Structure 1
Amino acid sequence: MNLQRDLLAFALYILVLSGLMIRFKQKRFSNFSLWTAIFLVLYFCMLEIQNKTFYILIPLFFFLLFCYFYFKEKCRLRNGWLLNLALISFMGYVVLITITASSLIGAGILGILLVLFLVTILFGLYAAIIFLIGNSFIVLRHESRKLPNLLTLILGLAIIALIILQVVGPKILPSWSVILLSIPTTIAIYFFVVFWNFLSISIVYQFNQPKYNQDYVIVLGAGLIGGEKVTPLLAKRIDRAIQFYRKQSQETLSPPQLLMSGGQGPDEKIPEAQAMREYALEQGIPAEDILMEAQSTDTLENMRFSKEIMEREKPAGYHAIFTSNNYHIFRAGMYAEEVDLKIDGIGSKTARYYLPNAFLREFIAVALMNKHIHLIICGLITLGFAALAVINYFFVG
């Protein structure tokens, strides 16, 4: 290994990083991430030049492919697959460049990844159980005991049941039927991969930064307290819209209109849009800057009916965004694309203790949108292992 080259590069990395940490105290994590990414790209490019190779084009191709499809249609699950493919190809590239260029820094990266992998294999499943069940008690202490708030508890108990099944099953079942125990495990692994894909692209989507040239900010409705007052969750959505409204007013002196979208549920005294309007008025937003869409009953209708209002108000064209809670904006964006509404979402913050439960709920909703594909794959998994069990029974056992 070229020790002098790598030590000099690492010293430069630490020197610049220290300067950034001192200069930008409020954005330490973002500056750390950005500089680390820039340093690695420059460092690996230097190795490529020295070796006269072009291996970096492989992960770069997948990353550019991800960028192309992401900025073309942001709310597509395929973008998650492309992003993870780019990350996997980059890891493969690090292995390749470490071997061919005798890179000490590359070896260090691989060492860190190996340690993380081993820790995940040894303790990840048990840590996940402890986290999920522990988080469920925190959620239940702060929220109502409705089914959507029990998802982390249900998942934690399901993992425990799966482990017990895999440990006890082979001891009490005939050998040929043990193969069938692989069915729930394989299906669980499949859904974990699908969830990881969903989570990856959902996190990326959080970094939307719309331009301050919007004509409308759609605020997606939620339930009301006592059927007439906005909930804390809904208030955060409105507050996020108001924050953008005021920022654009400062930047351009041309504020957007807030389009409150939400109909009246069977247990509500007034439409959600009306309660949202009253809340915005209390926050000092002028009445002429607030529009209402009071017919929708779900997120898809929020988008469809809001689009009709905006097209009626500005038939020549408009710019718009929407606000919701951060865990919800990706799925809401999927519904926007479904009605051919080309807008991005910005998210309001959610209590950290509630995020695991919230993302699980969103994942279930997104999975149900593609339930036919998942049912086919789960059916093929089941049929495959059932066939192996039959073969084992008749020809092996």
Structure 2
Amino acid sequence: MGVIGEITIGSIYLILLIGYFIWLRKKDKSRKSLWLFSGAYFLLYLVLIEILNHSFYLIIPALFFGLFYYFYQRDKPRLRNGWLFTLFLVVFATYLVAISFLGQSYITIGLLGILGIIFLFVLLFGLYALIIFLIGNSYIVLKKESHSIANLLTLILAVALIAWLVIQQIGPEILPQWALILLSIPSTILVYFFLIFWNFLLISLIYQLNQPKFNQDYLIVLGAGLIDGEKVSPILASRINRGIAFYHQQFAKAKRTPILLMSGGKGSDEKISEAEAMKNYAVEQGIPSEDILLEATSTNTYENMLFSKKLMDRLTPAGYQVIFTSNNFHIFRGAMFADQVGLKADGIGAKTAKYYLPNAFLREFAAIILMNKRRHLIVCAVIVLLFFLISMLNLIFT
């Protein structure tokens, strides 16, 4: 294409991008479309490169994306979808490398250069930067939230990473040669859980892009703990507010509103059920009480979905459309439970304070691990056994 052509395309792209960004700010619209616009423009650029080079390499990553999209649309709350999208990313990155040098694309070469610098930085300083971030984040969480185990996860992870670094440093100095192999056990397990976390985080972020249709009969609001046993907490209020926002959006689009199904039982330290407290809050926000339904016996997310499904099945045996709302970090696991009870319902996420997100996603990850604890215990046991056998062979034959 040449340097002048690349500069022209890049300049047009920047002008259009800046103009679109200004328009979005004036209209106060979501910036998700800005990412879609950027991706569409870059895709058109790649198509142009292919046409000029009389090649069809773009079909290969397109097929892998199609594979991910098919399985994702077929069954969204599946962890396998994260692996399929990761496979697409690897294939697409390989494609960019090929098109950069075969097609001599300066834009893609520049993009790969930037990504390479970022990867090199992460490789050299990423772990230390992560530890500093986790410690700083844990300080903020403990300052603003209760000092529960659930709110200490970022601090616990930081301490575990520091301990791992110390062991890796002093281990070679105090252990015999054959035992050094055993130091690979925590490293391998750490890499294994990092890959599992990457997959979970990736599919959780993709799941945030859900755009349910405005034809819902019910909207389940998942409960959370109450303040003083009767008042909704800020985190629960955000879930209700997200449900109320969709309630009004659907009325504006389709001239009919969904029933808000408040789901949450009464804890031993609560004066009223979470569902009743949620209804009181929603009524204060202007929602008519006749548009609110209560499910007041559940004690966890699985029961939220199960008991809500039974209630809706009884009230609307002919079938219904339903979605649910919870905090953005929680909706993927909520969808997994909905799938388990046979409830086809997508989740829409309520915003969560940014400082709380790292701890929240770690908590969700821990819950996902526990859902499949047998599988992960088997993998960890195999890792330990494998390196133990290697170390014993090293001791015997050296």
Task: Report the TM-score when normalising by structure 1.
Answer: 0.97
Partner of 2:13: 13
The CA distance in 2 between the partners of 1:272 and 1:31, in whole Å, is: 36
Deviates most, 277-286 or 182-191 = 277-286
Render the CA deviation track for 1:267-318: whole Å, top value 9, x for unaligned: 2222211111111122221111111111111111110110111111111111
- Whether the aligned pair in 2 keeps the contact of 1:300 and 1:336 (CA below 8 Å) is yes
Cα distance in 2 for partners of 1:19, 1:239 equals 32
User: Does the 8 Å CA contact 1:20/1:31 hold for their aligned counterparts?
Assistant: no
Counterpart of 2:22, as a letter, is I
User: Once superposed, what is the RMSD of the aligned Cα atoms?
Assistant: 1.4
The alignment partner of 2:278 has SS state of: helix
The 3 A distance-change label for structure 1 pair 365 and 28 is: closer
1:11-46 superposed Cα distances (whole Å, 9 cap, x missing partner): 222232232233322458535422321222112222
Structure 2 residue 12 is the aligned partner of structure 1 residue 34:
no
Matched with 2:348 is 346
Change in 2 beyond 3 A, CA 1:22/1:231: closer
Distance in 2 separating the partners of 1:18 and 1:269: 53
Deviation for aligned residue 1:80: 0.7
Stretches of structure 2 that go unaligned for 5 or more consecutive residues are none
**Is the contact between residue 24 and residue 31 of structure 2 (CA under 8 Å) also seen in structure 1?**
no
- Residue 182 in structure 1 maps to residue 184 in structure 2: yes
Distance 1:219 1:302 in 2: 9
Q: Tell me the secondary structure at the aligned position of residue 218 of structure 1.
A: strand
**1:146 alignment partner AA:** S
- Pick aligned residue for 1:285 from 264, 284, 287: 287
Partners of 1:238 and 1:123 lie apart in 2 by 41
CA distance in 1, matches of 2:11, 2:46: 16
Report how far residue 55 of structure 1 moved.
1.5
1:231 aligned residue: 233
**Equivalent pair of 1:6/1:105 in contact (CA under 8 Å):** yes
User: Compared with structure 1, are the counterparts of its residues 149 and 165 closer, same or farther at alpha carbon in structure 2 (3 Å cutoff)?
Assistant: same
Identity percentage of aligned residues: 56
Residues 315 and 29 of structure 1, relative CA distance in 2, 3 Å threshold: closer
Instruction: Sort the Cα spacing of 1:30 and 1:275 in 2 relative to 1 into closer, same or farther, 3 A.
Output: closer
Report which stretch shifted further, 53-62 or 13-22.
13-22
SS at match of 2:257: coil
1:114-140 alpha-carbon deviations (Å, 9 max, x no partner)? 100111011111110000000001000
Q: Does 1:364 align with 2:366?
A: yes
Structure 2 counterpart of 1:234, which letter? L
Aligned position for 2:45: 43
SS at match of 1:24: helix
Query: Residue 252 of structure 1 is aligned with which of 251, 254, 257?
Result: 254
Q: CA deviation at 1:231?
A: 1.4
| Structure 1 residue aligned with 2:117 | 115
Quick one: which amino acid aligns to residue 3 of structure 2? L
Deviates more, 1:322-331 or 1:376-385: 376-385
CA–CA separation in structure 2 for the residues paired with 1:18 and 1:144? 43
> Match for residue 2 of structure 2?
2
Q: Structure 2 vs 1, CA of residues 329 and 28 (structure 1 numbering), >3 Å: closer, same or farther?
A: closer
For normalisation by structure 2, the TM-score amounts to: 0.96
Q: 1:281 to 1:32 in 2, by over 3 A?
A: closer
For residue 160 of structure 1, the aligned residue among 159, 162, 167 is 162
Contact 1:21 1:28 in 2 (8 A): no
Rounded to whole Å, the distance in 2 between the matches of 1:51 and 1:252 is 48
**Equivalent-residue separation in structure 2 for 1:97 and 1:31 (angstroms):** 27
Contact 1:219 1:322 in 2 (8 A): yes
Q: SS of the counterpart of 2:293?
A: strand
Give the gaps of 5 or more residues in structure 1. none
Compute the displacement of 1:380 (Å).
1.6
Tell me what 2:153 maps to: 151
- CA shift, 1:100, in A, is 1.1
Q: 1:161 and 1:274 mapped to 2: Cα distance?
A: 46
Change (3 A) 1:35 1:285: closer
Compare 193-202 and 12-21 and name the one that shifted more. Answer: 12-21
Within the candidate set 292, 302, 305, 1:303 is matched to: 305
Distance 2:270 2:21 in 1: 50
Show the 5 A alignment for 1:85-164: 85-164=87-166
Distance 1:270 1:238 in 2: 17
Cα deviations by residue, 1:140-188 (Å, 9 ceiling, x for unpaired): 0011111000000000011010001001100110011011001001101
Relative to structure 1, the CA distance from residue 29 to residue 315 in structure 2 (aligned partners, 3 Å threshold; closer, same or farther) is closer
Contact 1:21 1:31 in 2 (8 A): no
| Residue among 183, 202, 205 paired with 1:203 | 205
Looking at structure 2, the residues matched to 32 and 291 of structure 1 have their Cα atoms a distance apart, in angstroms, of 37
Q: Hey, what's the Cα distance between the residues in 1 that align with 2:56 and 2:167?
A: 49
Asked if structure 1 preserves the Cα contact closer than 8 Å seen for 2:131 and 2:162, the reply is yes
